Chain A
């Protein structure tokens, strides 16, 4: 017994020292190195760079040309905040979120509840629901343009009730139509999240509620809704983040945020100001403001939703 034990101890001496510095499995650091380098290069550094740009007078130059990029303090931010187009875009996003997030949450939970448990054609329905989510927005925008243009099928079906000006060219309807489009497009993913949450609700809760005489609706209100609350928090936060960062939809569906910027989003303006008009500093300031806004809204949402 003593032989192998002492040999073991002597070998463990330097090993323990290595373990104290590098951890029990130093090889782990090697395995994560590519991913860590990727995160540093593509997220951490550009993140800091974005904030830096927003506080400097930054413009595009040919690579390697030494130019002076003076610190300008909050000048980019004041320029952004006094720009009516930017203010309008942030207002648009608030309208968008007020329509899109409640619609997404309610419909996703309702459809997930209906889809939960045994039902004929469940696989077909599940696939049908996530098909829009897995399809490129550029492709489905094509068919929505076809459906919702002034002479499109939707207006033909509505007949005299068709809005004039039509959905995507009306200042009042463009943003709500985009909000409904995004809800429709993303719903499948949120249904999947709710389905996962519903599977963890213990059946006994429903049974005891039924014994207490609660009907379907009461059981839904008093058992399902509280039980999936963590999923609801996740759905609301993810829907807010994706919605606030949209670009493709206003760019293609309403022809660049039209009419008159009524459906412009902050990211669309980042593209227009930063890339098209060559003001990356202004675009970076919009980006920083957008992130601060989204994080604030997400924290408030979490507070409200997680309140007991």
Chain B
């Protein structure tokens, strides 16, 4: 596609002139194409979110192109409707406890594991690291049936927060991020602290941890997406409506109830906005902690 633009540019003679000019001419094509490509991407990614918001505010679903424009007869009625069918507050609390539990487990035990894997030499370290890599390969879906048998049938943890949290309690990607950040700290720092007689736990707590605080936030953000958006697992183990996270109660509304209501899309979109808002707000607010460098270092582990 980049070639097309210089070809219609009315200066073919100059372009053939020198090699450098050829590079510059096609560079002009890119300077036109690049913003077009980026803008088209931004519209494609953002429009559905805008449409979600508009749709959630329409009393009657208007699917005509004009309906996509903000009009005056917008209402919060759909939010009232969805709240009558799905207890939004209780669902949000459930989502929050589920997500909070996973973040807590990941931050506490993941930091300890990441630090030990990066900085300490102990028996079994190699074996554990191989196991961590293996976990990345085994998809959660294979474990679905055995985990369902164990957690729901054997341990009786259906409809409980613990049952929801357990399979996600320590996020392995976050352990990788922690390990990577601890690895990047200078060796001298640790050598000096050890010479001074500091124990390993003290070194971790008062020297290493304050230095990796930005990584901590990145890892928390990364971990947040998992349980907040997770559908399959809580869907399997919660049957009681008052225990379901919002993703599950909204999905159940979509599949069971929506078809029988007057404005099904309005209520669905209102629920979708409530589910999407915390995640979107968090990532917009902390966007500088969620950049390619932070993520890249974690994934390359």
Contact = CB atoms under 8 A, between A and B. Distances in A.
A21 B124 CA distance: 10
A17 interface: no
B142 A252 contact: no
Contacts of A133: 225
Nearest to B156: A63
Contact of A46 (B35, B143, B175, B200): B143
A283 interface: yes
B13 interface: no
Contacts of B219: none
A212 B147 CA distance: 59
Nearest to A256: B255
Interface string A124-158: 11111111111111111111111100011100110
Contact of A138 (B27, B117, B251): B251
B113 interface: yes
B135 A129 contact: no
Interface residues of A, number: 107
Interface in A153-203: 153, 156-157, 184, 187-188, 192-193, 195-197, 199
A28 B65 contact: no
Contacts of A74: none
Contact of A42 (B141, B167, B231): B167
A53 to B, nearest CB: 6
Interface in B110-145: 110, 112-113, 115-117, 120-125, 128, 131-132, 134-135, 137-145
B232 interface: yes
Interface in B263-298: 265, 268-269, 271-273, 275-276, 279-280, 282-284, 287-288, 290-293, 295-297
Contacts of A212: 19
A231 B265 CA distance: 39
A10 interface: no
A210 interface: yes
Interface in A34-93: 34-36, 38-39, 42-47, 49-50, 53, 60-63
B296 A193 contact: yes
Interface string B143-160: 111111110011010000
Nearest to B236: A275
B34 interface: yes
Contacts of B61: 146
A136 B120 contact: no
B51 A146 contact: yes
A94 interface: no
A131 B138 contact: no
A217 B227 CA distance: 42
Given A145-B265, A270-B144, A127 B123 contact: no
B65 A156 contact: yes
A270 B145 contact: yes
Nearest to A154: B63
A147 B143 contact: no
B179 to A, nearest CB: 11
A28 B120 contact: yes
A231 to B, nearest CB: 9
Contact of A199 (B42, B115, B141, B292): B292
Nearest to A62: B153
B272 A284 contact: no
Nearest to B36: A114
A22 B38 contact: no
B121 A143 contact: no
Contacts of B255: 251-252, 255-256
A119 interface: yes
Contacts of B35: 119
B154 A63 contact: yes
B37 A140 contact: no
Contact of B23 (A63, A210, A290, A295): A210
22 contacts: A24-B121, A27-B122, A32-B124, A36-B128, A43-B134, A43-B138, A47-B143, A111-B37, A115-B38, A119-B35, A128-B46, A135-B229, A135-B280, A136-B276, A140-B276, A193-B295, A199-B296, A215-B25, A270-B145, A271-B236, A290-B139, A291-B138
Given A111-B38, A140-B272, A274-B144, 17 more contacts: A25-B116, A27-B120, A35-B170, A47-B138, A61-B153, A114-B34, A142-B52, A142-B250, A143-B272, A156-B64, A216-B2, A219-B23, A220-B2, A245-B139, A247-B231, A290-B141, A290-B142
